[in-house]
Structure 1
């Protein structure tokens, strides 16, 4: 931390568990949250598919509407503030690469220009077709959801151009209609920023191997000579002996690291 002139945060779903988010990667955690999907033996991959907005829009928006409401209500845990403090203290600041769609890094104070959401965001909408290459905010959509049945009770959002159904601007499974324009712009911001750093430190938090987008990103930076700290309770195994692995929950690990830094006076 003392040597780093920039902080790259690589965050997967595991960082949100301490904020109260359900574990969607295990069937038990997923089906406990959505009992109606458990009865139909529908997996996360089954429901997180774009064709559902055409064939079963109330069910599709029941799932994503519940998630939208939940992410709006939950607050980022203290570890997010610690990460932001570290980024603010680094010479070249920090940047977030995340597969999470919840917007919690922005809620924790990171600017839009500091975040690359590689799978999009639930807080943006797009046309399901899509009829035009445009995105808009989901702020005005207030989902009313029967959580037990996983069904949307009010009308789904509509595309302002064709009046067809809108969907979250999230990369789903087998998704050929995702509008990636915003994420591409975020990626370009990250690439422009990281070339300024001489000694970036990658802090990977809660990124598993089931959908390895975040781990693959960390691995590329590791191969490029960056140092890496991996925080993962269940999958902390490293590709390189030169890096550090911490098998703890996200908040506990970040608070412990921060305590050591403060006690040793290593914060810039």
Structure 2
């Protein structure tokens, strides 16, 4: 295993460009598993579990709530769950330490905003499925998203019997209609100018890295997440100097076509990042 760590560190240090791909496995390593009915879910969302009979956060995101008060009670609670103290985890700190001095770009399907919270540049980040800190018009009447920390925090702090006060429910500044958290839960998800700019930034980064030493560092991306995994594998296959590094506990898949250019570690992401940073600091 030490040889693998050394090889990964060598590839990162030599890289001209690094693309980080992150999905649910990274969140799980931080202690946030949106797909399970675990102790954390029951402690933070137990009342929703009993009242609505859903058993994880992702089900709560897609649930059809009877009222706007109940909908915003859940989403503001989720906001607080992910961002209650606005401090980065040690896992995210170590990831930032590993790449902060490199030419990097991040593409993620996570919605928790833990990358910018940890020091990663917003200009080097593409959040494919949105961010739980932002709001948009549910009817998509205009092309703008809104920073929602203030109102989401107020709603999270003022919940009574599974509802928030009516006066705290946000209304669209343009049409006066309903709003929703800017995450991809239905066809109303707004791919606004900032989303488009982030997507273009990602594409430009890839194009500018053509024929250079390019490392794809994939963290906690499952086989079903083809939004990240498929493009990564395809690019590694076509870029002569590309390296594919995948870390995911319990699920490592590397196709034969890129096997010689790949490194896979089936272990906890927290442990792997901690070890890599320790080795980097000792060099």
TM-score, normalised by the number of residues in structure 2: 0.80
- Alignment partner of 1:232 is 2:243: no
Helix, strand or coil for the counterpart of 2:279?
helix
1:28 is displaced (CA, Å) by 4.2
Helix, strand or coil for the counterpart of 2:149?
coil
Equivalent runs, 1:14-53 vs 2, <5 Å: 14-21=25-32, 23-28=33-38, 32=42, 33-39=44-50, 40-42=52-54, 44=57, 46-49=59-62, 52=64
Distance 2:130 2:181 in 1: 9
| 2:98–2:276 contact (8 Å) kept in structure 1 | no
Gaps of 5+ in 1: none
Distance 1:220 1:151 in 2: 47
Paired residues, what number? 257
Helix, strand or coil for the counterpart of 1:219?
helix
Aligned to 2:70: 59
Gaps of 5+ in 2: 1-11
Aligned to 1:161: 174
1:45 is displaced (CA, Å) by 5.2
Aligned to 2:280: 261
Aligned to 1:80: 92
Aligned to 2:122: 112
Helix, strand or coil for the counterpart of 1:189?
helix
1:211 is displaced (CA, Å) by 4.2
> Among residues 218, 223, 229, which one is paired with 2:232 in the alignment?
218
- Alignment partner of 1:245 is 2:264: yes
Helix, strand or coil for the counterpart of 2:14?
coil
Aligned to 2:198: 186
Structure 1 residues 63 and 30 mapped into 2: Cα distance closer, same or farther (>3 Å)? farther
Q: CA RMSD in A?
A: 2.6
Distance 1:224 1:149 in 2: 56
| 1:232–1:250 contact (8 Å) kept in structure 2 | yes
Q: Which has the larger helix fraction?
A: 2
Distance 1:259 1:247 in 2: 19
Which moves more between the two structures, 209-218 or 119-128?
Answer: 209-218
Distance 2:25 2:118 in 1: 16
TM-score, normalised by the number of residues in structure 1: 0.84
